[in-house]
Structure 1
Amino acid sequence: MITFMVVIGAAIGGVTNSLAIKMLFRPYTERRIGKWRVPFTPGLIPKRHDELAMQLGKMVIDYLVTAEGLGKKIQSHTFVTGMSEWIENQVRSLMKSELTGGELIEKEFGLANPKALLQEKSTKLITSSYRNFILTNREKTMEQLIPMSLQQKAVAQIPSITTYVLERGEVFLKSEEGKERLSVMIDRFLMQKGTIGNMVSMFLGNDRLVDKVQPALVKFLHDEETNKLVQQLLEKEWNKLKQIKFSEIEKHLNEEEVITILTNTIEGNLSVFDWLDQPIRDWAGTYENDVINKVIPKGVSFLVSFLSKNLEALLKHIHLDEIVQEQVQTFSVERLEELVLSISKKEFKMITYLGALLGGVIGLFQGFIVILLG
């Protein structure tokens, strides 16, 4: 009798626990007899599938993937070192590439003929900027357009320019070419004076007149008053130039020529245009040490600091809880069951065995009670 009740109790306990475990997942769908829904269908997890997904999303964002936890991980020495080494390896590999800059851009970003595109964009930008500058500053004077610092530098250079002009004039007058030109000028001057000029020319002789005029002109250029006079003239012309409206200068500008000059100047002085046609390994080596030793460490440090300070906001914008929820909702119930059982299969078996054990113990006590009462 006792053995029979122990076996029955164990069977009931084991089967009950096993059935309860299976009812967590099964049946997967609702069962009906006519219009009447069979109780406990579908199983607990299929019935609460959406709610489970939502709660898992909240649990992940509130307790598992938190800004504080991620921040500590990101700031850890292991993470920073690993990221730096990974970036260094990627950069070194890139710098040894046989691809040109243009080919790399085409491959990675799908932009066909990037150099032509860059030239087109730069030309449009220059054209737009030039026209906007003209439109905005047409009625302004040069004094308003030229920065004050440049104006001061220009004024400060006038004495030097005066000295340079006089010195070059002296050098020219003392040269054979200068003397010849001066002789021709004297000859023309005397010819314009008619008879008097011819008489002077015949009386003195052209060469002798040049020999007299040349030293006098050189002496004139050395004179302090001449220096002051030229300097005053330059200052006067500079002041006149500052009062000219830009619209007057615009009349002498050809838009197409100016844009072409600016574009060619930029393309000729910006290395990026050459890099697009050259293999990366040919020009990147020059920058390798700076990139590896300076740019990458500073870049990683900035990135880690930025992420640490903005993780909470980033996680809110990413909506990680919604991502988890959506992913769980896409799981079939069969997949969820397989996932849970793969993790807790042993524990579920132990629960079944425990149910059988408890049932057996209860059956044993019941047997003793029946014998005592009988």
Structure 2
Amino acid sequence: MTNDLLLIGVLIIIGAIIGGGTNIIAIRMLFRPYEAKYIGSFKLPFTPGLIPKRRSEIAISLGKTVEDHLVTPEGIQEKLKDGLLLKEAEDRLSLAVKELLKEELTLDEWLELHLDKKDQLKNIRQSIELGLETKLLGWIEEYKNIPLKESVPKLWHEKINATIPSISASILKKTEEYLHTDEGRVQMEEMVSRFFNSRGGISNMLGKMANRFSLSSALTNELVRFLNEKHTEQLLTNLLQKEWEQVISNSPSNYISDENVSTRVQSLSKAVVDQLPLVGEWDKPLEVWSHQYEKILQKTVVPYMMTSAATILSRYIKSIIKRIGIREIVTTEVNGFPLQKLEEMLLDIAKRELKLIAVLGALIGALVGLVQGIVIVFFV
């Protein structure tokens, strides 16, 4: 009886060792050996291991699975719709903008430091100036020999003609007001003095005998009376209208010489660009001038950028994913991943389960050994 129990125990132990050991070897054979083994020209069976042998097929299958079932356009669209991803991205972008506006660097220096774009803004400014200069020169070349009346919009011409009477009235009013000022009275007195002094002789003597103040006062009153007469205003209006008609009857070439037009246009282009927002401030540190744009950036530009990005992603996500080639990326990465690291990673993740598989194999082996022992003891 003791020998029978000993036999059964030995068979149980042997069965457990064989069952557990077989499972352990099977698990190891999933990965090892990494390469085929040969004895002479004879290739050993089961080499390389299953995963190394089927690695390319696994990579292709995994890439297809990821593209078709895991990273899908529908899944990404649902993620975009819940708003959490976009909100987080917007918060991060707002923080980045806030930090950027506090920089002590100029915008050109910041671009050079972070994006390796040296003199990028300088080139942009030069391009803007050159474009504006080219446009102005082209416009001048096109219209320089055309009379102004043909190039000035008709509405402008009508408005200017309608404004001339009020300009005449304003000139007369300002002239009258000036004559009544202290400066105007002094000018009239000096004019009377110059008149008599220039005549010499008897006129000079008469001028000294006369009260020049009363003469200048009388002359002023006469001028004021003349300015207030209705026909004076009409006379000035007619004169201004005649001069305006003369001006617009000529072409720009009558007023601008070809020698200095290029220099003037270049100076004008530079002056205009200097007044443009941002462009005229690029050479100053960001913290000095950027605060005036912070509100519009944070309240308008950043939300608009995120909304536009979400719209574009939602509309073109399928073509974007197709162009990215997720299947090819996964396939390439799996094929290039070191087998030893892949083995360590999988074994570490499934350590508990693999131990249970080995234990289960040992239990099954022990059970088989027990059955064999019982059969041998009682039936053989």
Give the TM bin, normalised by the shorter chain.
Answer: 0.7 to 0.9
The structure-2 alpha-carbon separation of the partners of 1:44 and 1:168, relative to structure 1 and needing over 3 Å to count, comes to same
Match of 1:127 in 2: 133
Q: Verify the 8 A CA contact 1:122 1:263 in the aligned structure 2.
A: no
The residue matched to 1:41 in structure 2 has which SS? Answer: coil
CA distance in 1, matches of 2:284, 2:125: 13
Aligned-pair identity in percent equals 31
> Normalization by structure 1: what TM-score?
0.75
Please say if 1:82 is aligned against 2:88: yes
Amino acid at match of 2:269: L
* Structure 1 counterpart SS, 2:137: helix
Provide the rounded CA distance (Å) in 2 between the counterparts of 1:364 and 1:314. 62
Aligned to 2:103: 97
State yes or no: 1:50 paired with 2:56.
yes
- 1:71-112 per-residue CA deviation (whole Å, 9 max, x = no partner) reads 333444543443344334333333333334443333223344
Q: How does 1:276-315 map to 2 (within 5 A)?
A: 276-278=283-285, 280-315=286-321
Q: Contact (CA 8 Å) 1:126, 1:263: kept in 2 or not?
A: no
- 1:67 is matched with 73
**How do 1:57-206 residues align onto structure 2 when only pairs under 5 Å count?**
57-76=63-82, 78-112=84-118, 116-117=122-123, 119-138=125-144, 140-143=146-149, 145-147=151-153, 150-170=156-176, 175-176=184-185, 179=188
Find the partner of 1:24 among 13, 23, 30: 30
Query: Is residue 260 of structure 1 aligned with residue 262 of structure 2?
Result: no
Counterpart check, 1:326 vs 2:325:
no
C-alpha distance in 1 between matches for 2:334 and 2:154: 67
One-letter identity of the residue aligned with 2:352: K
CA distance in structure 2 between the aligned counterparts of 1:54 and 1:244, rounded to whole angstroms: 79
RMSD of the alignment, in Å?
Answer: 4.2
Aligned to 2:36, the other structure's residue is in SS state coil
- Displacement of 1:338 after TM fit? 1.6
SS in 2 for 1:40: coil
Over 3 Å counting, the alpha-carbon distance change for 1:78 and 1:271 in structure 2 is closer
Matched-pair contact (CA < 8 Å) for 1:115–1:273: no
Deviations 1:41-81 (A, max 9, x none): 22221122222222222222322223333333344454344
| C-alpha contact 2:37 2:43 (8 A) present in aligned 1 | yes
How many angstroms apart in 2 are the aligned matches of 1:114 and 1:181? 63
> Do the aligned residues in 2 keep the contact of 1:275 with 1:283 (CA within 8 Å)?
no
1:345 aligns with 2:351: yes
The alpha-carbon distance between structure 1 residues 88 and 291, as it changes in their structure 2 partners (threshold 3 A), is: same
Alignment: residue pair count: 363
Please give the alpha-carbon distance, in whole angstroms, between the structure 1 residues aligned to 2:24 and 2:159: 95
Structure 2 runs not aligned, ≥5 long: 1-6
CA contact (8 A) 2:129 2:273 kept: no
- CA–CA distance in structure 1, aligned partners of residues 133 and 264 of structure 2: 11
What amino acid is the match of 1:312?
Answer: K
Deviation at 1:303, TM superposition (A): 3.8
Distance of 1:260 and 1:171 partners within structure 2: 39
1:137/1:246 contact within 8 Å kept: yes
Change over 3 Å in CA distance of 1:30–1:236 after alignment to 2: farther
Which SS does the other structure have where 2:173 is aligned? helix
The answer for unaligned runs of 5 or more in structure 1 is 191-197
One-letter amino acid matched to 2:332: E
Q: TM-score, normalised by structure 2?
A: 0.74
Tell me how far apart the structure 1 counterparts of residues 167 and 293 of structure 2 sit (CA, whole Å): 41
Question: Displacement, 1:263?
Answer: 0.7
